[in-house]
């Protein structure tokens, strides 16, 4: 009677013969399926693909940063505080404007500089009473505490007026983007810029620019106004002066802005400073 195979295995004096050729052959087939030199080539290809991916990510990051950051030439490079000679005066003929428009004289150099570079037409400036008892500017066109009431804001439209947002507004749009490179983040010295995205303002309506200034009551002149320094023929500039200390007593407000009357085209309304 022939012994059971398991019995022979347990009681045999010789070790069992186990063939591993098939297993090794299968393993070799699974492992060494690349030809000589192919692994190195694939490694170089992977490095190239990784390099391309890194370059693409760097370009995307650069584009995002460029979109989020203001343009390098947005807004004036420097500003200063102008203190002296606050007065409401007529806008000169060199700056296109509605007849009779008036502003605080300290922003005239900035307005003239802007007018030489952008095709602007000022439709309204100071709005309020005059010492003569008459009224300057558009009556009832601006919200309470508007900078128009201090003579430190202007409403701007194209020289070639159009009530549609067409090519006539390109220069005004450039000016708005220069003064406010990011929405609700005006570049100094501007206090507020009202244009596209602001109620009652924008392309086809009007651009509002106002200058940063010291606190002042309605129809009173501010102690100081922030401006960008310019040197233009016929428009004098003043040397930079230091900002007063916080505990310095402000000078007494002027009795009222002097000047004549103004008949202007009505401007728009604004939730802020217009």
CATH value at residue 152: 3.30.1380
- pLDDT on residue 9: 40
SS3 per residue for 79-101: CEEECCCCCEEECCCCCCECCCC
Query: 269 by DSSP, 3-state: which?
Result: coil
Positive or negative, the CA dihedral 218, 220, 221, 224 is: negative
Residue 218 lies in a domain: yes
pLDDT digits (tens, 9 = 90+) for 145-175: 789 999 999 999 999 999 999 999 999 999 9
Number of structural domains in the chain? 1
Q: How far apart are CA 191 and CA 110, in angstroms?
A: 14
Residue 9 lies in a domain: no
- pLDDT on residue 54: 65
> What secondary structure does DSSP assign to 30-69, as a single string?
HH--SPTTHHHHHHHHHHHHHHHHHHHHHHHHHHHHHHHS
Phi, psi of 192 (to 5 degrees): -155, 140
Residue 243 lies in a domain: no
pLDDT digits (tens, 9 = 90+) for 38-57: 555 555 665 666 666 666 76
pTM for this entry = 0.60
- pLDDT on residue 141: 77
pLDDT digits (tens, 9 = 90+) for 239-252: 334 444 444 444 45
pLDDT digits (tens, 9 = 90+) for 99-147: 999 999 999 999 999 999 999 999 999 998 888 888 776 777 777 778 9
Q: Which two tokens stand for residue 124?
A: 């309204």
Residue 31 lies in a domain: no
Could you list the residue range(s) of the whole structural domain that residue 104 is in? Answer: 80-227
Q: How far apart are CA 213 and CA 86, in angstroms?
A: 12
Residue 24 lies in a domain: no
Q: How far apart are CA 63 and CA 96, in angstroms?
A: 39
């Amino acid at each position: 009677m022939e012994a059971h195979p398991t019995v022979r295995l347990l009681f045999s004096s010789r070790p069992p013969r186990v063939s591993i050729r098939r297993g090794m052959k299968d393993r070799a087939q699974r492992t060494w399926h690349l030809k000589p030199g192919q692994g190195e080539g694939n490694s170089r290809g992977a490095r190239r693909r990784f390099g391309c991916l890194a370059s693409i990510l760097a370009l995307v990051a650069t584009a995002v940063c460029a979109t989020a950051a203001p343009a390098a030439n947005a807004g004036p490079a420097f500003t200063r505080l102008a203190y002296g000679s606050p007065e409401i005066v007529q806008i000169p003929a060199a700056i296109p404007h509605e007849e009779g428009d008036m502003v605080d004289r300290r922003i005239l150099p900035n307005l003239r500089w802007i007018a030489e570079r952008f095709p602007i037409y000022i439709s309204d400036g100071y709005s309020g009473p005059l010492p003569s008892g008459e009224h300057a500017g558009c009556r009832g066109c601006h919200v309470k505490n508007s900078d128009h009431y201090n003579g430190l804001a202007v409403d701007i439209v194209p020289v070639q007026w159009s009530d549609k947002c067409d090519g006539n507004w390109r220069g005004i749009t450039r000016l708005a983007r220069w003064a406010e490179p990011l929405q609700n983040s005006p570049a100094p010295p501007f206090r507020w810029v009202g244009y596209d995205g602001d109620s009652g303002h924008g392309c086809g309506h009007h651009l509002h620019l106002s200058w940063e200034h010291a606190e002042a009551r309605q129809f009173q002149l501010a102690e100081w106004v922030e401006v960008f320094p310019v040197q233009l023929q016929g428009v004098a500039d003043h040397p930079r002066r230091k900002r007063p200390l916080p505990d310095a007593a402000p000078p007494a407000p002027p009795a009222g802005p002097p000047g004549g009357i103004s008949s202007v085209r009505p401007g728009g309304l604004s939730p802020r400073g217009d």
